[in-house]
Structure 1
Amino acid sequence: MGKGSRRKAAADQSDSSDVESMSSVSTTFSELTMANETEHVNSLDFQLEKYIDALYEKRFIARGSVRETALLGLAEAFEGQVLLPFIENKFVTLLHQYLSSIKKGSAKEACLASRTIGLLAITIGAGNSAHEIMEESISPLSQALVSGSDKTKKKSVMDCLALVTFIGANDLAETETSLKTIWQVIYPKSGPNVGSIKKPDSAVLSSAISAWSFLLTTIGSWRINPDSWKESISFLSNLLEDSDRSVRIAAGEALGLFFELGIFDMNFQKEGTNIDKLEHEISKHGTFHHLQGLKAKILARASDLSTEAGGKGTDKKNLNDQRDLFQKLLDFVETGECPETLLKISSKQGFLMTSTWAQMIQLNFLKGFLGKGFLKHAQDNELLHDIFDFEQDRTGILSTKEKISRADDKGWTQKMNKDRKLAQVYRSIFKLCM
């Protein structure tokens, strides 16, 4: 509509003798533009429909099954664009085919199917449809975790399980079910088959901790009973001694979240907490002293990891990531200063900012899952806008009158710039005072 208005305005300003000619050219250009846009949409829809049809195939080609190729194509399409209109009436069909690939397909097919389910949930956003995706997926995903030993498959399944629960869960019980399932991968002794399960591979372990931490961010501090989580905290604190740096980093992120929840300070002054009952349990089991001991152990180890020297052949990036994370953890515990992240989304939308430990974990997880598609989803996906309290750029859908009004309002622009500068000054003063 905006382009058509501009074309009409240009035609109105032309000589009367050229009006008919200009109008004809304008109409032809408009029809061509609409035809090209429609062709692009129809072409994409047509290709996606072909991928969906291929999910029913059982034939094999030279480089894998037809279904694997289709799943890869669907994953790339949903990663790069927010295809909500396309899936609104197809998500049930897609979900059932994806789940079939997880149950009956190869390890590679199960990996791709897990990823596409996660992308399906991210695209459709929170609501009844997301809850249906979660309900249908939890059992097959949980079974896939305990069947087979393929590392990549386990990582993909855990990421998917965390995502569908994060987006679709309606209550604490549903979240706890998935947390327990993932925790059994992290700490096999907590599961039913203790004798037959070995310590997971480092890559699987670090991935499981990250998925578990991501899901844990949805639980408010008032729901945390320290006596129920002390075993988890104790195990995670031991992982700070692990030989693999990725495991140490993942464990540090999870422990930072527990510090933010106030569990080490026995912060029970929250709505819905029975103070007398908790104090009785603390006294009975010695939870308070146990947690204080763990806190001292964690902070001492964090201090070492924040200044660890790199030897010959050390992966400098991972080492710097470790130092940075544990320094943030120390700063947070000592000063209460939350780690901040600024990520540029676009020239119009500006920066996405996180200012809590939980948001930092959420951002890291979603960036890792969406990969190169993160910026596109950050720009256009309402789910991410809600998670990070980030407003969608609406300038493209403003009326001409609204655009002119905003552009001419110099006072509004000056006020916004002033507010931003003041915020920066206050932040600097706060840091100096701390």
Structure 2
Amino acid sequence: MGKGNRRKVRADEFDSSDADSVSSTSTALSELTLADETEHVNSLEFVLEKYIDALYEKRGSTRETALSGLVDAFEGHVLATFVENKCITLLHQCINSVKRGSTKENCLASRAIGLLAITVGAGTSAHEIMEESVPQLSRALRSASDALKISVLDCLSVITFVGANDLAETETSLKIMWEVIHPKSVSNVGPLKKPSSAVLAAAISAWSFLLTTISSWRINPDTWKESISFLSTLLEADNRYDRSVRIAAGEAIALFFELGILDMSYNEESGIESFDDEVSKRRTVTYMQSMKAKISGQVYNLSMEAGGKGADKKNLNDQRELFQKFGIFSRYFFFGECPEVSLKISSKRNILRTSTWGQLVQLNFLKHYLGRGFLKHAQENELLHDVFEYIVDKTESLSAKEKKISRSMDKKGRNQQLNKDRRMAQARKQGHLSAQDA
């Protein structure tokens, strides 16, 4: 296993009437012709069972209603126990809905698959979800619907993030998403249509989310030359895409910086894969250093815009938010300031904390993907606890002096962990540790 509000493709965008709360079950049951079983109307498990049964129906509207209810339930609850014995059955029906029916049904089904993976967590079931879904999701990306493409990209990224067992599986999904980001000519067909700004920003964000998982494996810098070069072109002020694309590209490039690929030197390999010979190493290092210089200039120019000239007045708040995000990126790029975020997730002072750029990308993506359900999953879903630093804030009841001492100790602990991570990265670079030791 291994943001933000840039895009919002959720079930309730297609028809808000189809995404009522699971607690309000009477309407859903009526649409599923189950009104006669009112004695079970308040049973969530009973309703969920009927939603699964409804996925076998021939009528598309019935399947859509069931998928809406399932998506809503997966968002609002951590249904790990419920899906324990129903995971594969539910997966197969959702895959069938990705293949057929309306665009709305396809989108709902792909979202349900992603939420199912997050619910079951890393393990055998999540890996099976990934293996069985990727081929169909890849085909669904050929759709003309931007909404479906975005939903599928998000799903593909999530199921691979949770279910992939090795770098090869991760790279397969990264390649599928990259073909959307940077489509190439196909023999006897001609050039593929370039994606819209909405699809491109979504694709880069999903791709970046998955890219955060590769740091535990050895990295061949030559593999990423094309990606870095193309993403740098999206930072240009005169490119045809809107600013959300440029922000997504900047965030992706920051990951390469954190991985050490854009900060290579002749003296060390920064934990990346060994080169075949000295000539190859010097050629790659020279290229990466030139790209870093180019990107530095682009970052500076973009940061100077500060949401001014060219900003869409109708979406001024969105523009401000985008440039706040870009400000975080630029400070990280120029000064190496790792963005530390502490997110309070309950009245019991439970906190999710990030201390690296990759964790921030993961946090923002999962907040976007889970939507209104993020808080519930942050509180109860063990997957999120494994991904982020999950702690209980014990300082709220302390005196000012005690709080100061406690924070000092926390900082000392984080510094010790960072030093340990650096030592392990250095050992991996020298071949003393395998990826599993990390």
Normalized against structure 2, the TM-score is what? 0.77
Question: Retained in 1: the 8 A contact 2:264–2:289?
Answer: no
User: Residues 97-142 of structure 1: CA distance to partner in whole angstroms, max 9, x if unpaired?
Assistant: 0000001222111100000000000000000111111111111111
Question: Share of identical aligned residues, percent?
Answer: 60
Superposition deviation, residue 264 in structure 1: 1.4
Q: Match for 1:376: what amino acid?
A: K
Q: Which residue of structure 2 aligns with residue 27 of structure 1?
A: none
Q: Which residue of structure 1 aligns with residue 258 of structure 2?
A: 260
User: Residues 190-217 of structure 1: CA distance to partner in whole angstroms, max 9, x if unpaired?
Assistant: 7778724111011000000000000000
Query: Relative to structure 1, is the Cα distance of residues 425 and 121 closer, same or farther in structure 2, using a 3 angstrom cutoff?
Result: closer
Q: Match for 2:348: what amino acid?
A: K
Query: Relative to structure 1, is the Cα distance of residues 112 and 221 closer, same or farther in structure 2, using a 3 angstrom cutoff?
Result: same
Q: Which residue of structure 2 aligns with residue 291 of structure 1?
A: 288
What is the CA–CA distance in structure 1 between the aligned matches of 2:209 and 2:77, rounded to whole Å? 23
What is the CA–CA distance in structure 2 between the aligned matches of 1:264 and 1:373, rounded to whole Å? 36
Q: Which residue of structure 1 aligns with residue 104 of structure 2?
A: 108
Question: Retained in 2: the 8 A contact 1:237–1:298?
Answer: yes
What is the CA–CA distance in structure 2 between the aligned matches of 1:362 and 1:175, rounded to whole Å? 15
Superposition deviation, residue 42 in structure 1: 6.8
Q: Match for 1:369: what amino acid?
A: Y
Query: Relative to structure 1, is the Cα distance of residues 271 and 338 closer, same or farther in structure 2, using a 3 angstrom cutoff?
Result: closer
Give the 5 Å matches for 1:159-238. Answer: 159-189=154-184, 195-220=190-215, 223-238=218-233
What is the CA–CA distance in structure 2 between the aligned matches of 1:382 and 1:191, rounded to whole Å? 43
Larger CA deviation: 311-320 vs 107-116: 311-320
What is the CA–CA distance in structure 2 between the aligned matches of 1:180 and 1:95, rounded to whole Å? 23
Larger CA deviation: 416-425 vs 328-337: 416-425
Question: Retained in 1: the 8 A contact 2:99–2:136?
Answer: yes
Give the secondary-structure state (helix, strand or coil) at the position aligned to 1:343.
strand
Q: Which residue of structure 2 aligns with residue 45 of structure 1?
A: 45
User: Residues 139-159 of structure 1: CA distance to partner in whole angstroms, max 9, x if unpaired?
Assistant: 11111112x210000000111
Query: Relative to structure 1, is the Cα distance of residues 117 and 416 closer, same or farther in structure 2, using a 3 angstrom cutoff?
Result: farther
Where do 5+ consecutive residues of structure 2 fail to align?
Answer: 1-38, 414-438
Q: Match for 1:201: what amino acid?
A: S
Give the 5 Å matches for 1:83-162. Answer: 83-146=79-142, 148-162=143-157
Query: Relative to structure 1, is the Cα distance of residues 363 and 288 closer, same or farther in structure 2, using a 3 angstrom cutoff?
Result: same
What is the CA–CA distance in structure 2 between the aligned matches of 1:238 and 1:272, rounded to whole Å? 25
What is the CA–CA distance in structure 2 between the aligned matches of 1:86 and 1:205, rounded to whole Å? 36
What is the CA–CA distance in structure 1 between the aligned matches of 2:361 and 2:245, rounded to whole Å? 15
Normalized against structure 1, the TM-score is what? 0.78
Q: Which residue of structure 2 aligns with residue 73 of structure 1?
A: 69
Where do 5+ consecutive residues of structure 1 fail to align?
Answer: 1-38, 394-405, 428-434
What is the CA–CA distance in structure 1 between the aligned matches of 2:271 and 2:254, rounded to whole Å? 23
Q: 2:406 aligns with which of 420, 424, 431?
A: 420
Q: Which residue of structure 1 aligns with residue 356 of structure 2?
A: 356
Q: Match for 2:301: what amino acid?
A: D
Q: Which residue of structure 1 aligns with residue 279 of structure 2?
A: 280
Q: Match for 1:353: what amino acid?
A: R
Larger CA deviation: 373-382 vs 321-330: 321-330
Superposition deviation, residue 422 in structure 1: 2.3
Q: Match for 2:375: what amino acid?
A: L
What is the CA–CA distance in structure 2 between the aligned matches of 1:322 and 1:203, rounded to whole Å? 14
Q: Which residue of structure 2 aligns with residue 344 of structure 1?
A: 344
Q: Match for 2:94: what amino acid?
A: Y
What is the CA–CA distance in structure 2 between the aligned matches of 1:278 and 1:81, rounded to whole Å? 53
Question: Retained in 2: the 8 A contact 1:162–1:214?
Answer: yes
What is the CA–CA distance in structure 2 between the aligned matches of 1:297 and 1:88, rounded to whole Å? 50
Higher CA-based Rg: 1
Give the 5 Å matches for 1:376-391. Answer: 376-391=376-391
Give the secondary-structure state (helix, strand or coil) at the position aligned to 1:263.
coil
Q: Match for 1:280: what amino acid?
A: V
What is the CA–CA distance in structure 2 between the aligned matches of 1:236 and 1:360, rounded to whole Å? 19
What is the CA–CA distance in structure 1 between the aligned matches of 2:401 and 2:184, rounded to whole Å? 58
Task: Compare relative contact order (CA 8 Å, sep 6+) and give the higher one, 1 or 2.
Answer: 2
What is the CA–CA distance in structure 2 between the aligned matches of 1:194 and 1:301, rounded to whole Å? 35
